[in-house]
């Protein structure tokens, strides 16, 4: 009974995480200022932004790291403060597809902003790590500073939720599911820098925990997520 109650509560928390992006996207665009024009002054051309596109602007990104060996993403700016992306990637054990939404939460100057980002990822294949299709979501908040050189520094925190496809959609047969709903926390830091007028380099490192408790592994690997890559805007 204890395991059932724990799983039930974890499912409710994961469902809340899945609803969070919808709630934020329905409320934030009306109150968040545009990122590129603050007090009538435009951002510097060399302070390329790999997070939020201008309205109508497209961006492609190619990333690698741990545990994801390769990711390709296309992102489109629906407004100066809201960017929507689709991506595909692979780890040593499985492939993944997903969406990523980014929106500015707070910004009163060009030098500092707070933005929200959430990737929602589907792993369709059964593998050695997880023996059935499953979902992962990682809503995160980021605090970012822009230096005069055009380099952006950030740190933030996130919650990571994972559950089987059957659990997320309430499909029967969950009594023998291989992945119980799980929740982790993470802190992260990173930077991005211009590598050309429309090209930027980015790097980010995340450390994963269970609240205030450390963990030894994350899906069979170290409790870290490391990402490096390049983005091109057009």
Predicted confidence at residue 172, as pLDDT, reads 63
Architecture of domain 2-233: Beta Barrel (2.40)
Residue 172 CB neighbour total at 10 angstroms: 6
Question: How many angstroms separate the Cα of 16 from the Cα of each of 60, 61, 188, 221, 222?
Answer: 30, 29, 22, 27, 27
Distance CA 164, CA 174 (A): 9
Q: What would the pLDDT profile of 3-30 be if each residue is shown by its tens digit?
A: 444 455 555 555 555 555 555 554 444 4
Please give the Cα distance from 17 to 80 (Å, whole number): 25
- Number of alpha carbons in the 13 Å side-chain half-sphere of residue 180: 9
Residue 101 β-bridge partners? 84, 118
Residue 99 has pLDDT above 90, yes or no: yes
pLDDT of residue 197: 81
Pairing, β 70-79 against β 58-66: antiparallel
CB 74 within 8 A of CB 60: yes
Q: Which two structure tokens, joined as six digits, stand for 153?
A: 């520094």
Cβ atoms of residues 170 and 217 within 8 Å: no
> Domain limits of the chain?
2-233
Q: Is the pTM of this model over 0.85?
A: no
* Beta bridge pairs of residue 3: none
Mean pLDDT for all residues in the chain: 82
* Contact predicate 70/63, CB 8 Å: yes
Q: How far is 232 from 195, CA to CA, in rounded Å?
A: 10
**d(C-alpha 183, C-alpha 159), whole Å:** 7
Tokens of 206: 């995340």
- The per-residue pLDDT for 86 is 98
Question: Which band of pLDDT confidence, cut at 50, 70 and 90, is reported for residue 40?
Answer: very low
């Amino acid at each position: 009974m204890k395991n059932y109650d724990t799983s039930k509560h974890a499912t409710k928390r994961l469902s809340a995480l899945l609803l969070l992006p919808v709630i934020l996207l329905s409320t934030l665009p009306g109150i968040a200022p545009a990122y590129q024009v603050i007090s009538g002054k435009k951002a510097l051309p060399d302070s390329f932004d790999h997070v939020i596109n201008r309205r109508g602007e497209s961006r492609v990104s190619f990333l690698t790291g741990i545990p994801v060996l390769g990711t390709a993403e296309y992102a489109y700016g629906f407004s100066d403060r809201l960017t929507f992306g689709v991506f595909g990637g692979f780890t040593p054990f499985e492939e993944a597809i997903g969406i990523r939404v980014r929106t500015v939460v707070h910004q009163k100057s060009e030098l500092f902003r707070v933005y929200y980002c959430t990737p929602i990822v589907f792993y369709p294949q059964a593998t050695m790590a997880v023996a059935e299709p499953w979902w992962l979501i990682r809503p995160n908040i980021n605090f970012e500073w822009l230096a005069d050189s055009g380099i952006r520094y950030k740190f933030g925190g996130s919650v990571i939720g994972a559950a089987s496809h059957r659990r997320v959609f309430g499909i029967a047969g969950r009594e023998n599911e291989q992945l119980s709903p799980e929740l982790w926390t993470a802190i992260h830091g990173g930077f991005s820098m211009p590598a050309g007028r429309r090209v930027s380099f980015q790097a980010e490192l995340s450390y994963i925990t269970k609240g205030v408790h450390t963990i030894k592994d994350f899906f069979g690997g170290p409790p870290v997520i490391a990402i490096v890559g390049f983005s091109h805007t057009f």
